[in-house]
Amino acid sequence: MRLGAQELSSLLWKERELLELLTFKLEEEQLILTSGKTRWLQHATREVEQVVERLRTAGLGRTVEVSALAREWGTEENASLRDIAAQAPAGPWSEIFAGHLNALAELTTRIRELRDANDQFLRAAARSTQETVAGLVPDAGTYNSRGGTGLDAGARLFDKDL
């Protein structure tokens, strides 16, 4: 019985480590965004995506292990980690799994905050870039008081008959 709980706890520690790594990568991405030196942004974003993929794999492993432990402990097979912590037999496992659950929740909240902040920085940078580009090219759709666009068209055509 203990082997399944130990295996699950080990997987949860690995998942927590990956969430810590993701937090670091998101903070790194944020530093790049706030510094304005976006040369390395693509690399930072790729690293975030790689950690997210590793987390997906770890999450699948955790789901399988939770299901196996739930069967072992006589709980529903689709039990959550919260259910496992609540249904743990007498001993330290209830407290251990509750600790994992709290840590995972805290890390997830921090990651969500970083993701949202980075998204705002990216949107602001995109808006700034659009405004800069728009300022470089005069708007051809606006007419001046003489009916022209205000653009120097270069070569002009004249009707000699007029």
- Checking if the pLDDT of 154 tops 80, the result is no
* pLDDT value at 122 more than 70: yes
Asked whether residue 70 is assigned to any structural domain, the reply reads yes
Residue type, position 136, single letter = L
Q: Which of 87, 90, 93 is nearest to 75 (CA)?
A: 87
Q: For the chain, what is the domain count?
A: 1
Residues of the chain with pLDDT > 70, as a percent, come to 83
More confident residue, 85 or 145: 85
Give the model confidence (pLDDT) of 20-52 as tens digits.
999 999 999 999 999 988 888 999 999 999 999
67 part of a folded domain? yes
Give the CATH number for residue 42: 1.20.58.300
Is 141 part of a structural domain of the chain?
A: no
pTM metric for this prediction = 0.75
